Chain A
C-alpha cells in the first residue's frame, strides 16, 4: 500500500520569507500526487497535482511543487509567504484499487509571523 510522510508537524516562517514543505511518498510506479490546503474550520482545497509531464508543477495562490522520483519526494514551495497562507497543508498520493483512493499525509501546520 502507498503511504505519505510529512516529516514536519509544524513550521513557522516570517511573512515575506520563502517556504518549503516536505513530502515523501512510497509507491512503485509513477504516483498521482497532490497538495491540499485546509484553512481553520474549513474543508480542503486542492493547490496542485502531478501525474505526468513536467516535474515542476504550478498551482494556485503562487504555490509550486517539484516531483523528484530519485528522492520519492514532492515538496511544496512558495517564494514569499503571506499571512493568509497560515493553514494546514496535506500532501497526498492516489492509488487505484477498485476505485481511485487518495491517501493523505498527517499534515504540516504552517504558522506565519509578522
Chain B
C-alpha cells in the first residue's frame, strides 16, 4: 500500500495552461504539505494544511491554490502556468505538524512547462 501517492507522475504542458496535481495519504495523518524542488534540487515548502485548514503559505504566487477536501487529500491547482513553474512537486504528510515528527513524502510530480 502506498502511503502518500501523487497523480500524475509526469505533467508536460504549455505556458498559460491551468493544471492540477492530486495527493492522497492513507496514513491517517492530520497534516499535509506541498514542496517544490527546482532543477538544482533545492527543496522549499509551499503550503501546509492541518485538518483541512491552511497553516503555512510561503509567499507562493496566488496562481497556486491548494485545496484540501478532507484531511487525506491535498490538491494543488496552478493557473496560468509559467516556464519557471517547471519543477518537481512533492506532497508530504505528518501526524500532526507540531514538531519533530517524520514527514512521509510522495514520489513527486515532474512538471515541465513549455
**A→B interface (CB under 8 Å):** 32, 34, 38, 41-46, 49-51, 88, 90, 94, 96-104, 106-107, 109
Known: A41-B108, A101-B56, A107-B43. 9 other contacts (CB 8 A): A41-B107, A43-B4, A43-B107, A90-B43, A99-B50, A101-B58, A106-B41, A106-B42, A107-B41
Q: Is the CB of B102 within 8 A of A99?
A: no
Q: Is the CB of A88 within 8 A of B99?
A: no
Q: Is the CB of B105 within 8 A of A51?
A: no
Number of chain B interface residues as a range: 20 to 34
What is the number of contacts between chain A and chain B, taking CB atoms within 8 Å? 63
**B→A interface (CB under 8 Å):** 4, 31, 40-45, 48, 50, 55-56, 58, 90, 92, 97-100, 102-103, 105-108
Q: Is the CB of A44 within 8 A of B105?
A: yes
* A contact face: mostly helix, strand, loop, or mixed: strand
What's the least CB distance linking A69 to chain B, in Å? 16
What's the least CB distance linking B51 to chain A, in Å? 12
| Chain B positions within 8 Å of A97 at CB level | 56
